[in-house]
Amino acid sequence: MDTFNTLRNIIQSRRSTKPALMNGKKIAASQIHQLLELADWAPTHGLTEPWRFIVYENTAIQKFCFDHAELYKANTVPDKFTMAKYEKLVQQGNTLSHIVLVYMKRSAGNSIPAAEEFAAVAAAIQNILLGAAALDIAVLWSTGGMTHHPAMKNHIGLAADDNILGLLYMGYTDEPLTEGKRNIPLADKIVWRS
């Protein structure tokens, strides 16, 4: 029961933290590696293990954020483009320790439905988020900016069938954890049949 309570506390207290609330303190690369080891134990239909990670650290973070902003500029029609969003994308790295780009590598032969490989990668991400919560590491799973745009896929050299599931903005925060909020009562999400 103690193990269950520990796990429940981590799951329920895990919160998303915006990069703007992070303090610039660095996470040890060994801890990032430990989190990726947790990701590697996600369930995977047919053992295709479709999760892949690109870890940005040090000056690669600023470069990624600048490139992200440039992709936004190059792929946004002028009347939709805002300098504020461009600047936000450029500055986003300033408070971070690492960015982990997570993508789904579509398995050869397509024997497993793509939706199941997406699901496996999402489970891998949740493992990272929970491990991070246990280590007091702040994370935002973000799909903002150009994350889902084909230009981003192209920029990092993914194959047509591969897909980015998100950018994990990681660091530390001095802010207290916000209160968790769920709008739909759990009872409304469950049907018991007996």
Ligand X SMILES: Cc1cc2nc3c(=O)[nH]c(=O)nc-3n(C[C@H](O)[C@H](O)[C@H](O)COP(=O)(O)O)c2cc1C
15 forms part of the interface with ligand X (CB under 6 A):
yes
Strand partners, 164: 103
In whole angstroms, give the CA distance from residue 92 to residue 58: 14
Q: How far does Cα 126 stand from its chain's mean position?
A: 9
Q: How far is the CB of 149 from ligand X (least distance, A)?
A: 13
Q: How far is the CB of 111 from ligand X (least distance, A)?
A: 25
Q: Which stretch binds ligand X (CB under 6 A): 83-91, 113-121, 141-149, 153-161?
A: 141-149
Q: Which of 19, 50, 166, 171 binds ligand X (CB under 6 A)?
A: 166
131 forms part of the interface with ligand X (CB under 6 A):
no
141 forms part of the interface with ligand X (CB under 6 A):
yes
Three-state secondary structure call for residue 126? helix
68 forms part of the interface with ligand X (CB under 6 A):
no
Sites for ligand X among residues 83-102 (CB under 6 A):
none
Q: Which of 143, 150, 159, 175 binds ligand X (CB under 6 A)?
A: 143
In this structure, are residues 119 and 82 in contact, taking their beta carbons and an 8 Å threshold? no
Q: How far is the CB of 192 from ligand X (least distance, A)?
A: 25
Strand partners, 57: 98
At which residue do the structure tokens 């660095």 appear? 26
Strands 163-171 and 138-142: antiparallel
Q: How far is the CB of 176 from ligand X (least distance, A)?
A: 13
105 forms part of the interface with ligand X (CB under 6 A):
no
In this structure, are residues 69 and 40 in contact, taking their beta carbons and an 8 Å threshold? no
180 forms part of the interface with ligand X (CB under 6 A):
yes
34 forms part of the interface with ligand X (CB under 6 A):
no
Q: Which stretch binds ligand X (CB under 6 A): 65-73, 85-93, 105-113, 137-145?
A: 137-145
In whole angstroms, give the CA distance from residue 129 to residue 85: 26
Name the CA radius of gyration of the chain, rounded: 18
Q: How far is the CB of 138 from ligand X (least distance, A)?
A: 11
Query: Considering only CA atoms, which of 81, 163, 78 is closest in space to residue 125?
Result: 163
| Backbone φ and ψ of 100, nearest 5° | -115, 115
What residues make contact with ligand X under the rule CB under 6 A?
A: 15-16, 140-144, 166, 180
